[in-house]
Chain A
């Protein structure tokens, strides 16, 4: 399979603190890459280098290359809105904007200039279905998104990201605050979504990585320790630290 994202020798610093060190990683199209590792390993920071959300941090400094379909996303004059529509993101904390479910979904498309009401309604239905939320909210699309339950809010956030019609979806511990039922619904959605999208999933839950990931990358203290197929990482990890982590000896 072709590489959707190629990360070459990526270093990320906050001030003088090295958060990521010489990361080399290829992310294949239409796969789910799970990123696992203990807290403060740089998983989230890595994810945020892929849509340049780290740019918001004044002290962040980056070296190396991130190529999306061969295009360096850190090149000068690159349009950030364009990049962030191609590389959508779902945050750990579900944050519906304080507006209706429908308005949440169409927020991105509207910013991109889609005004046709019919088109926006189509998008809403399509994305909510893909996020397995349609049946639960189809009768109250114009009520506030903040009134939904935590699990529903997170699926709304996924649908909202899908409405951008991205090519890559970054998920930052999307199930960290959710109950097992909501988690399984989201995993089910991810499984369907990878047919169309490339998915990078940061998770603290190694079992989740084993369940949904095609490939796994293990981060520790800013280093990429090991990368391999899910099967290989969870059965015959080549690095002792990976084995210790996935068997629960630390982290």
Chain B
């Protein structure tokens, strides 16, 4: 048996090594991608259309496709997910049915995205006749995001102390007024985290998009146009050996986008926390 004081030192070292490995891997990936990708990125790469299947030219249509598709996904998933979370936490009593719903929501978040892709293909692309389109892709991605958004929102809403609710009700508030004026503002930082994670996931999603939005390389002009997002573009460039240079360039833009979104999210969260506490 180790003496507690020795164990203490050992544990600290082990935890440090674990942390160091994590941070190293993260920085290595980012560094590697940026090192290979930044050289390609200039205004032309960002703002022009690809030529020769992506061997030359830029990725402008992919950037537009990514933004619009993610926007659709998040605009649909947020009200649905937050609404479901409000219903589950505020309007139901603890019971078997709720536990079952919760269990399945959790299972849903573990389903591989490619299966959501197949589902979206069958439902939106084929059955509803939307074809390979930004709309099909956005809707399917929204479904994929729902479990995460519901879960994080639920946790955030549950963390709001009950005494806030009691105070609001005792001051003549209705349940809905209480939710809107007291519960949601206090839960906002947590809910925002879930949404931001959702945005990042929708931007990086590949499998769903290939199945539902297709991979056409032209600039989309309507929601029923097929599009190729940055992730899909990267996948095709790298997989088919079209241009590793431009693949890294696309990856770098993707990573920078996600970094920017996360930074914005942190900034927003700190502002919200400062405002509501």
Contact = CB atoms under 8 A, between A and B. Distances in A.
Interface of A: 51, 53, 56, 58, 80-82, 84-85, 88-89, 91, 93, 95, 97-99, 107-108, 111-112, 146, 160-161, 164
A107 B171 contact: yes
19 contacts: A53-B166, A53-B170, A81-B174, A82-B172, A84-B170, A85-B171, A91-B167, A93-B163, A95-B163, A97-B182, A98-B186, A98-B276, A107-B168, A108-B172, A111-B171, A111-B173, A112-B172, A146-B277, A164-B171
B172 A58 contact: no
A98 B277 contact: yes
Nearest to A83: B172
Q: Which of B163, B166, B167, B172 has the most CB of A within 10 A?
A: B172
A83 B83 CA distance: 29
Dominant SS among interface residues on chain B: helix
List 3 tightest A-B contacts by C-beta distance, closest first: A108-B171, A85-B172, A81-B172
B264 interface: no
B154 to A, nearest CB: 18
Nearest to A107: B171
Given A80-B169, A82-B172, 19 more contacts: A53-B166, A56-B165, A56-B166, A80-B174, A84-B171, A91-B166, A93-B163, A95-B163, A97-B164, A98-B185, A98-B186, A98-B276, A107-B168, A107-B181, A108-B173, A111-B172, A111-B181, A112-B172, A164-B172
Interface string B147-188: 000000000000000011111111111100100011001100
B277 to A, nearest CB: 5
A95 B172 contact: no
B167 A97 contact: yes
A154 B181 CA distance: 21
Given A93-B163, A95-B164, A97-B164, A51 B170 contact: yes
Q: Which of A97, A146, A160 has the most CB of B within 10 A?
A: A97
B163 to A, nearest CB: 5
A160 B185 CA distance: 20
A141 B101 CA distance: 45
Given A111-B172, A111-B173, A95 B167 contact: yes
Contacts of A53: 166, 169-170
Contacts of B277: 98, 146
A91 B172 contact: no
Contacts, number: 60
A98 B277 CA distance: 5
Nearest to A170: B170
Contacts of A80: 169, 174
Contacts of A81: 172-174
A56 B169 contact: yes
Contacts of A99: 276
B96 interface: no
Contact of B177 (A82, A93, A97, A111): A111
B9 interface: no
A91 B171 contact: no
Given A97-B164, A98-B276, A89 B170 contact: yes
B93 A58 contact: yes
B163 A97 contact: no
Contact of A88 (B93, B170, B174): B170
A88 B171 CA distance: 7
Nearest to A59: B93
A85 B166 CA distance: 13
Interface in B83-100: 93
A93 B93 CA distance: 26
Contacts of B168: 97, 107
A98 B165 CA distance: 12
A81 B169 CA distance: 7
Interface string B27-49: 00000000000000000000000
A78 to B, nearest CB: 13
Q: Which of A111, A160, A164 has the most CB of B within 10 A?
A: A111
A9 to B, nearest CB: 25
